A = this chain, B = another copy of it.
Amino acid sequence: MKKLNFKNDYSNIAHPFVLERLKEHLDDSFNGYGLDEASDLARKKVKDLIQSDADVHFLIGGTSANKIAIAHALRPYEAVIAVESGHIAVHETGAIEQTGHKILTVKPVNGKIVPEDIVKTVELYQDEHGVVPRLVYISDATEIGTVYTKDELTRISQVCREHNLYLYIDGARLSNALVSPKNDLTLPEIARLSDMFTIGGTKNGLLMGEVLIVTNPALKPYVRHSVKQNGGMLAKGFLLGLQFQVFFQDNLFLAMARHANVLALNLQEKLVGLGYTLASISDTNQIFVNISWDKYNTLKDVCAFEVWNKADDYVTVRFVTSFATKAEDVEKLIEIMKN
């Protein structure tokens, strides 16, 4: 029997519509480096969605997008504020530091940054013997599947503007956040409250691709130079433009994310009903469940997942769903977890 797959949301090729769209264009030729009409159309679609005359860049991957955005924004002595669990702080092999910038970390609360900690960090760094905090990095959805509310993001945005900090949102799973039951934010609001943000395609049904949206006029010039310098410019940029056309058409991106969320949150609820405890309560497509070592040892042979934390008497495992997850696989997992 094939293993169940709850390992991550980037283990399948792509939504079938994506390949179909590429196939339709097999005989066409395009301009290089994203300066093509397909990318222009996709860019226009993004601007309509966010209701802003932002600059829109289609990039290859999440680490690359974070690195480009942050390196582009900062002067050498400037630093990022992020939670300790932030993707840039732990899972990107020092990609931000490679560009010369320190990441100042604060404790997350429920996966999210607390405005007061931003202020405290700014206050700690007041002279030339320390770095200058200049950009706040948050992820929405967060690394543990929670989402920011409109109140929370508004407060963070205010704090950032009061303290001359850019607000950058890593939206690798922004689609999932947008359709979370806990979400009350819209794309235009996100655009208005932040200075730059991304919308991830890699983890939501595309072959690959992230949209980098730059709303702050001060950050717009020369982004393409930063993209190229950091190795993030695809010669066949039109592949990204074509894919994001599919992504945004008829809100496919939301449909795919909703599919994933519903399955994961259903799974989370059922597992709690079965008596499992959660390491944290998720609002999106990643859930974090504590299981016994015995359960772990049998489960790992029939299901792919990631181990999040190993304790003496239990293991926290992560189950992730995606556009490609089948409802019947969730049912199968629940059955297995019952025993």
For A67, A75, A231, A235, the residue with the greatest tally of chain B CB atoms inside 10 Å of its CB is A231
Does A92 have its Cβ within 8 Å of any Cβ on chain B? yes
By a CB distance below 8 angstroms, the chain B residues around A234 are 60-61, 208
Does A101 have its Cβ within 8 Å of any Cβ on chain B? yes
Counting contact residues on chain A (CB < 8 A from B), the size range is 35 or more
Contact B100 A98 (CB under 8 A): yes
By a CB distance below 8 angstroms, the chain B residues around A337 are none
Q: How far is the CB of A57 from chain B (nearest CB, A)?
A: 11
Contact B63 A228 (CB under 8 A): yes
Q: Given A77-B225, A235-B10, A236-B202: A230 and B95 within 8 A (CB)?
A: yes
B26, B60, B131, B202: the one contacting A93 at CB < 8 Å is B131
- Contact string, A118-153, partner B, CB cutoff 8 A, digits 1/0? 000000000011111000000000000000000000
Q: How far is the CB of A276 from chain B (nearest CB, A)?
A: 24
Does A291 have its Cβ within 8 Å of any Cβ on chain B? no
Identify the stretch in A28-36, A39-47, A179-187, A263-271 within 8 Å (CB) of chain B at 4 or more residues.
Answer: A28-36
Contact B11 A32 (CB under 8 A): yes
By a CB distance below 8 angstroms, the chain B residues around A128 are 33, 93, 222, 224-225, 227-228, 233
Query: In the complex, A71 Cα to B130 Cα: how many Å?
Result: 17
Q: How far is the CB of A315 from chain B (nearest CB, A)?
A: 16
Contact A202 B235 (CB under 8 A): yes
Q: How far is the CB of A33 from chain B (nearest CB, A)?
A: 8
Contact A28 B8 (CB under 8 A): no
Contact B91 A102 (CB under 8 A): no
Q: How far is the CB of A21 from chain B (nearest CB, A)?
A: 10
12 other A-B residue contacts (CB within 8 Å) besides A60-B231, A65-B231: A11-B29, A60-B60, A61-B231, A75-B222, A77-B94, A91-B130, A92-B229, A93-B228, A98-B100, A100-B100, A132-B225, A208-B239
By a CB distance below 8 angstroms, the chain B residues around A76 are 71-72, 94, 98-99, 226, 229
B13, B63, B235: the one contacting A233 at CB < 8 Å is B63
- Contact string, A202-233, partner B, CB cutoff 8 A, digits 1/0? 11000110000000000000101111111111
